[in-house]
Amino acid sequence: MEIEVKDEEKQVNIWLTRAESQDQALLESLKPIYKKYKDKKYLVAVFHSGKGNMKESIRDLLIYNKTRLRELEMEREKQPVEQKQRVVKREMAR
């Protein structure tokens, strides 16, 4: 287990191995840590080791992010065109 406290961000990251994630006693022992930092208004995030293939998961995440970035760029490019079309329509209506 690794506990990372980021005071500037008011965040605590707790990293657990697969074995630790399945240890109920260990998970129960984390409750006082949650309370301590909740009282300080920190965000506590617990990361559990996954069971999937890391290479495939990273690849899928990168593909998703690239696709989403393209979508957002297209939306940004589309907005000025739509604004110009509205101006032209208003002028034509006069």
Shared domain for 41 and 65, answered yes or no, is no
Co-location of 39 and 9 in the same domain: yes
**pTM of the complete model beyond 0.85:** no
Looking at the structure, tell me whether residues 72 and 40 fall in a common domain: no
Q: What is the pLDDT along the chain (94 residues), one digit of tens a residue?
A: 999 999 999 999 999 999 999 999 999 999 999 999 999 999 999 999 888 888 898 999 999 999 999 999 988 888 777 776 777 777 777 7
Domain count, the chain: 2
Domain shared by 41 and 11, yes or no: yes
**Same domain, yes or no: 34 and 61:** no
Q: DSSP label at 22?
A: T
**For the chain, what is the mean pLDDT?**
90
Report the C-alpha gap between 31 and 33 in whole angstroms.
5
Amino acid at 44: V
Which domain, by its residues, includes 87?
Answer: 52-94
The reply to whether 27 and 9 lie within a common domain is: yes
